[in-house]
Structure 1
Amino acid sequence: MFIGHGSPRWALSPGEAAARLVEYRPLFDNVKALLVISPHWITRGMRLTVSSKPETIHDFGGFEQALYQLQYPVAGDPELARHIQSVLQDNGLDVALDEKRGLDHGVWVPLLHMLPEHSIPVIQLSLDAASTPESLIALGEKLKCLRNEGVAIIASGSLTHNLYHMGEERAAPLDYVERFQNWAREQVVERNIVTLSQPHIESDDFATAHPSAEHYLPLLIAMGASHATDQLSVLESPILYQALSMESYGWN
């Protein structure tokens, strides 16, 4: 999946975007673990959480106190984390294990809605600061084999993420936000992976939609981890705060 995780406050205001994720719950009945990538954990080189009880990280500020009380008490899976490390290393990618890191809001906020029972173990993989679009697509392709082992690959981010343009939660979306969301959807549906890897060239709205690219980049991992024969689901959701696309995609 690629999940638009929106603002941390989405945890308190589920709305239609969360309802769309709920539709996906049955697809996780036979999933044994989740591997989630979030733009809120960027490291030098890749790292994997290996804690058996990852903490819920409240990596934000300025919100109402109720948000900081929320927990997502899910288990980790150290044995699986070591296996994923081996899979990546066998494919020429170095990845270190991190025993202390928990799960940031790019992971637990959408899972709070989609899998509220927190019954499926979660491992988080960091984004390498030195990644390129090409290396992220290749990473997804190397992770693809884990799907056959019952591991769901979830890339969390946002199709649009210009915090300078945020307004009221339910205000009308800005024109460029709708245009870029529609452009991205068209490329995903048509599997134009090369086009998606160079949005700064292919879309006039990319620079405005993403002053920095880290929330867009997880989409490339999801595309790499998907098969051309997968059934694609477009989880259309409202644009919130005028500038945050909540659209998500699933491949199964």
Structure 2
Amino acid sequence: MNLQTLPGLFISHGSPMLALNPEQVGPALSRLSENLPTPQAIVVMSAHWESNALEVNTGIRPETWHDFRGFPEALYALRYPAPGLPELAEDILQRLADAGFAAHANSTRPHDHGVWMPLLHMYPDANIPVITISLPMNMSAEQIYHIGQSLAPLREQQILLIGSGSITHNLRELSWNTPNAAVPEWASSFRNRVVQHLSHRNYDAVLDWQQLPHVARNHPTLEHFAPLFFAMGTGDRFNIVHSSFSMGSLGMDIYRFD
């Protein structure tokens, strides 16, 4: 089998409503997958699996978890029945151990919407195995970056690595009833500074996230930004796949790392 190297991705997965109302990002995700070799498997670090210890999902057929409330019934009817791949999960556990990370197997973790919602647009048949790894919130940005580095060689086995979060994420600031609301300066300047650093391969400046402009307003908590650190570790050539905002300040960027 001639395996091709896949990129690492950072995907802003946005509101759960992206599953029903794709806006601009759904078609962008579809085009992205069409232009990539079909993955042998997909590995996702989601903003919605925060943990104390680093964990890897070793389940055979994880459930679809609707980890949100107050949305239309049609959203709760959606399923993404992608299988797991325990052999790959065990390989990931070993790679993490070799890199000095104490990681643990978790056979019962379902797929949260940070996992299945973008994949619904990329691989709607749900026939590619998906492995999820947790986001250890007691780790530094540099440590999460090194997790990405330790798994980066999997790209050469045609395995797609994804950090799923949002480039900006402050739910209290969103214009929920105005999808095309104007983008506030504090959101655009944050996003633009991050892109500037990544474009110049100044990864250290992104990992030093406390110094980014308006960081507290864009990320009152860090869980949606931290998957970017993981994605950065997977490759040192940065490209923008898609850039847009939804509901004013919710950044929907997609980045590629080769």
Question: Under a length normalisation based on structure 1, what TM-score does the superposition of the two structures give?
Answer: 0.94
Alignment equivalent of 1:160, drawn from 157, 162, 168: 168
Structure 1 residue matching 2:24: 3-state secondary structure: helix
Match of 1:200 in 2: 210
Deviation at 1:27, TM superposition (A): 4.5
Gaps of 5+ in 1: none
Pairing 1:176–2:186 present? yes
CA distance in 1, matches of 2:36, 2:65: 24
Deviation at 1:236, TM superposition (A): 2.6
Alignment equivalent of 1:187, drawn from 169, 192, 197: 197
Select between 33-42 and 16-25 the one with higher mean Cα deviation. 16-25
1:134 corresponds to which letter in structure 2?
A: E
CA distance in 1, matches of 2:160, 2:65: 22
Give percent identity, aligned residues only: 36
Match of 1:217 in 2: 226
- Please say if residues 34 and 120 of structure 1, whose CA atoms lie closer than 8 Å, have aligned partners that are also in contact: yes
Structure 2 residue matching 1:15: 3-state secondary structure: coil
Deviations, residues 135-189 of structure 1 (Å, cap 9, x unaligned) = 0111111111111222211000111001110112221222211111111111121
1:164 corresponds to which letter in structure 2?
A: R
Paired residues in the alignment total: 248
Deviation at 1:235, TM superposition (A): 2.1
1:234 corresponds to which letter in structure 2?
A: I
Deviation at 1:199, TM superposition (A): 2.3
CA-atom RMSD in angstroms: 1.3
- Please say if residues 3 and 248 of structure 1, whose CA atoms lie closer than 8 Å, have aligned partners that are also in contact: yes
Match of 2:107 in 1: 99
Deviations, residues 171-228 of structure 1 (Å, cap 9, x unaligned) = 1222211111111111121111100011221x221111111111111111111111x3
- Please say if residues 3 and 154 of structure 1, whose CA atoms lie closer than 8 Å, have aligned partners that are also in contact: yes
CA distance in 2, matches of 1:243, 1:200: 19
| 1:30 to 1:12, Cα distance in 2 relative to 1, 3 A | closer
CA distance in 1, matches of 2:242, 2:32: 13
- Please say if residues 20 and 237 of structure 1, whose CA atoms lie closer than 8 Å, have aligned partners that are also in contact: no
Deviation at 1:114, TM superposition (A): 1.2
2:218 corresponds to which letter in structure 1?
A: A
Pairing 1:141–2:149 present? yes
Structure 2 residue matching 1:24: 3-state secondary structure: helix
Deviation at 1:118, TM superposition (A): 1.3
Deviations, residues 8-52 of structure 1 (Å, cap 9, x unaligned) = 111110021111111211344342101100110011211111111
1:2 corresponds to which letter in structure 2?
A: F
- Please say if residues 152 and 234 of structure 2, whose CA atoms lie closer than 8 Å, have aligned partners that are also in contact: yes
Match of 2:87 in 1: 79
CA distance in 1, matches of 2:149, 2:252: 25
Gaps of 5+ in 2: 1-8
Alignment equivalent of 1:51, drawn from 54, 59, 73: 59
